[in-house]
Chain A
C-alpha cells in the first residue's frame, strides 16, 4: 500500500469533535485546566507538608516533655529529620518546576531535558534510604531505647522498625526501576531514532 495514497485518506479524516470554542470560551477552558492542575499539585504538596508538620510537632512535644534521655535524643533526631525532609522536598519541587523542558524546542533537545529530569527523579527515589528512611528509622530506634519495658520488648519493637524500613526501601527501589526505567528506555529509543548516522 502506497503511503502517498494513504496521505489522502489521512487528511480526509474528519475530527470527531468540531472546534466550537469562541475566543473567550477557549481562554476560559485553558485557564480552568491550568487552575485544576495547579490545585492538584498544591494538594499533593499540602499532604507532604502536613505529614512533616505532624512529625515535627509530635516529637517536639516529646522532646520537651519526655523524661528518658533516649526518648529526648530520639525526638531531637526525628524533629531534625522532619525539618530536613521538608526542606529537601520543597527544593526538589522547585527544581522540578524550574527544569521542566519547554515544548517549543526541537524534539531532540526536549527529549534530552526530559531524560535529565527523569534521571534526577529516579536518583531521588533510589537514594530515599539515605535522606528519608535512615534518619526516621534511627530516630525511632533511639526513641524505642527509652521505652520503660523489657529488653526483649524493645528488641522486638526495634526489629519491627528495621523490617518496615527495609520493606519501604525495597519497594522504593522497585518503584524506581519499574516507573522510570521504561520511560528512560522509551526516550533512548526516540533519541536513537534522531541520531544522524552516515551509512
Chain B
C-alpha cells in the first residue's frame, strides 16, 4: 500500500479512532501513545487484510485489540488503577473530560463507559459510531442476534449509571 493511500485511510478513520483511544485510556499522554500504537498496528497488519469485511471495520477491529492490550499493559497493578480512578477529580482529569465541547452529557457518558469491561467498551463504542450489528459481530465474533442482546444489556447498564448520577 502506498503511503498516500495509507494516510488517506487514517485521515478518514481518525475521529473514530481517537474517540476509541479516549475510551481505553485515563491520561491524555496515554491517549496520544495509544493512538500512535494503533497506527503502527494498522500499518503492520495491513498485509493480512483479507477483504472479508470493509476496510474501515477491519481497521476498527485492529484498533480495538490494540487498545485492549494497551489498557492491560497500563493496568498492571489493580492498586495503581484504583488510585488513579480516585484521582479522577483532579484538575487534569476534569479538564480532559470536559474537552472542547464541555458537555456534561458527554462527560457522564464517558464516566459510565469507564465502568465497563474491555469487550463491553468495544461493543458500545461501535454502537455509538453507528457500526451495524453485522460489523459488530465481525469484530467481536458474536452472532448478530447476540450482539443485539449484549447491546441491550450494556445500554441498560450505562443508562442506570448515567441516570443514577443524574439523581433520576
**A interface with B by C-beta (< 8 Å):** 1, 3, 5-7, 9-17, 19, 21-24, 26-27, 29-30, 33-34, 101-111, 114, 178-179, 182-183, 186-187, 189-191, 193-194, 196
Q: Are the CB atoms of B140 and A194 closer together than 8 Å? A: yes
Q: Are A1 and B117 in contact (CB under 8 A)?
A: no
Q: Which residues of B are found within 8 Å of A10, using beta-carbon distances?
A: 19, 106, 109, 128-129
Q: Which residues of chain B come closer than 8 Å to A182, judged between CB atoms?
A: 75-78, 81
A26 touches B69 (CB 8 A): no
Interface SS of chain B: helix, strand, loop or mixed?
helix
**B interface residues, Cβ below 8 angstroms from A:** 2-4, 6-7, 10-11, 14-15, 18-19, 32, 36-37, 39-41, 43, 45, 48-49, 58, 61-66, 68-69, 72, 75-78, 81, 99-101, 103, 105-106, 108-109, 117-120, 122, 127-130, 138-143, 146, 150, 155, 158-159, 162-163, 166
B57 CB → nearest A CB, Å: 11
In the bound complex, CA of A33 to CA of B18 (Å): 18
B105 touching A13, Cβ below 8 Å: no
Chain A nearest CB, measured from B67 CB (Å): 9
**When the two chains form their complex, are residues A105 and B65 in contact, meaning their CB atoms are under 8 A apart?**
yes
A107-B139 in contact given A114-B69, A190-B117 (Cβ < 8 Å): yes
